[in-house]
Structures are given as structure tokens and as C-alpha cells.
Structure 1
Amino acid sequence: MPVSKAHANWNGDIPTGSGQFSAGDGSISGGVTYKSRFEDGPGSNPEQLIAAAHASCFSMALASTLAGAGFPAESIETDAAVTLRPVDGAPTILKIELTTQGRVNGIDEQQFQEYAEQAKANCPVSRALAGVPEVTLQASLAS
């Protein structure tokens, strides 16, 4: 399996400085500032990248789990929200909320929930983020 790579730099102090990041072939890139990370200002932040990674990984894991069980998905749509708050004076990721909706033929809501929970447990990004105190999942079938 390939090694995934990214690059980041930071210039200046934290309150007034800025940074840039890129990942993969450079098609993913952006800028980071104190305001974009801690004050909901314009730009990107590492937590958004974690949310994107988790949503993507979970969607792929769920599609794989469903296909392996004989229920190939027509589509899986996942949103992830990452909550960053101070803990003992240090910014800490306290919660990740996954919300997913699948369009899958021949499956009922309870089965879909079970496969979604399996995907959450087995997704490589979920496993990497095991230290996050709370990871929630809302899963539903599209009607």
C-alpha cells in the first residue's frame, strides 16, 4: 500500500502568522491562520482536514462492508463535525460526529445501522482517532 504524504509550513507567531498545507499530488491545499482555526475565520484548519479524512474513510468503509454483505451501495453521503475545545489549557479534539445516509437496495434500516457501526469501528481513520473521547454516528437510509 502507498504511503500518504502531506506538507505544511507556518510563518510567524501564532496570533498573526499563517501557514499553508498540501496533500497528495497537491490537489488538496489551503491556508491556515489563528482565526481560521480558533475563531471560525476564513480559511482552513487541521480539524477540517481530520473531518474530511474521517468522512471519506468512513464512507469507503461502509460501502465496502455493505458490498461484502451482498448489499452494494448506490451511494453513501457522510458529514463529519470535529469539535475542538480547551482541556487543561490545551486545544483538544473532544468529539467527532458522523452523519451518514446511504442509498442501498434490499436492506432495512436496522441492518444498515449495524453495518454502519461495523464500518465506524473498522475504518482506519476511526481507529487512528481512537483517543477522541466521543465519536457519534447517525446513520439512515435514503428514502
Structure 2
Amino acid sequence: MIRKATAVWNGTGKEGKGHLTTASNVLNKTQYSFNTRFEDGVGTNPEELIAAAHAGCFAMKLSFNLSAEGLSPEELDVTSNITFEEGTLKKSHLVLKAKVAGVSEEKFAELVKDAELNCPISQALNMEISVEYTLNS
């Protein structure tokens, strides 16, 4: 399986602008620029997209882990906070709010740790990864 996205950039790093398009067209010429990356401009940026990918991948991996244990999560709400400093991605801190009936705290912690280590995006990232969670049954 190959997934594809395209970036087009015009101009210098600070004054230029670009857009991103995914094969699915979920992103379709979505704007990004210096302002969206380093300030509060309208549009997206690479770090925000990595955060979305990491949150989504982790949530799906945890759901698979729970399903393998015969558990069905009602909701897994995951936020990835990406730390970008001095031109380097330093950390992804995942914050999980989970609603899962019938799972012990110990088993849930084990399944969360496995998802943290084994979701494909976690494995691709060369940075510190941490998870905090709240579990409601």
C-alpha cells in the first residue's frame, strides 16, 4: 500500500506560500505558510499534520488492542501535542480520554503502552513519545 500527498511551495521560506493536497482530497490545496507554521496564520503546517496522524494512528491501534481483548471502546478521544523547537520535532505527548466498559486499570495501561510503542506513526517518529490518560468505564 502506498499513500500519497503533494506539497507545492512558491517563493522564499518566509514570504512564500504553499498548499498541500492528499490523494483522497481531504486536503485539497490546503494553505500553509511561514505564518501558519511559526505564528497564528490561517491554514495548516507539517507539525499539525503529524499531530493529527499520530493521534489518529494511536487511537486506531488502541481500538484494535481493546478489540483483541473482547472489549469495545465507546470513545477514544486523543490529542497529540507536538513540541517543535529550534527546527526539530522534540516530542509528541498524547492525551487520551477513554470510555471503555469492562476493562481493568492494569489491562488498560498495558494496552495503552502497546499502542504507544507499536502504532506505525509512533514507530516512524524519531522523538520522545509520552501518553497520559483518563479512563471512564
Q: Same fold (TM over 0.5)?
A: yes
Task: Among all aligned residue pairs of Structure 1 and Structure 2, give the percentage whose two residues are the same amino acid.
Answer: 37
Over aligned residue pairs, what C-alpha RMSD do you find? 1.2
Q: Which residue of 1 aligns with 2:12?
A: 13
Contact 2:92 2:129 in 1 (8 A): yes
Contact 1:109 1:140 in 2 (8 A): no
Contact 1:113 1:140 in 2 (8 A): no
Q: How many residues matched?
A: 136
If the length of structure 1 is used for normalisation, what is the TM-score? 0.89
If the length of structure 2 is used for normalisation, what is the TM-score? 0.93
Q: Would you say 1:137 and 2:131 are equivalent positions?
A: yes
Shift of 1:108: 2.2
1:67-92 per-residue CA deviation (whole Å, 9 max, x = no partner) reads 10121212211100111110xxxx00
Q: Structure 2: which 5+ residue stretches go unaligned?
A: none
Return the alpha-carbon distance in structure 2 between the equivalents of residues 4 and 99 of structure 1.
26
Return the alpha-carbon distance in structure 2 between the equivalents of residues 111 and 93 of structure 1.
31
Q: Structure 1: which 5+ residue stretches go unaligned?
A: none
SS in 1 for 2:9: strand
Return the alpha-carbon distance in structure 2 between the equivalents of residues 56 and 80 of structure 1.
9
Q: Which residue of 2 aligns with 1:73?
A: 73
| Runs of 4+ displaced beyond 6 Å | none
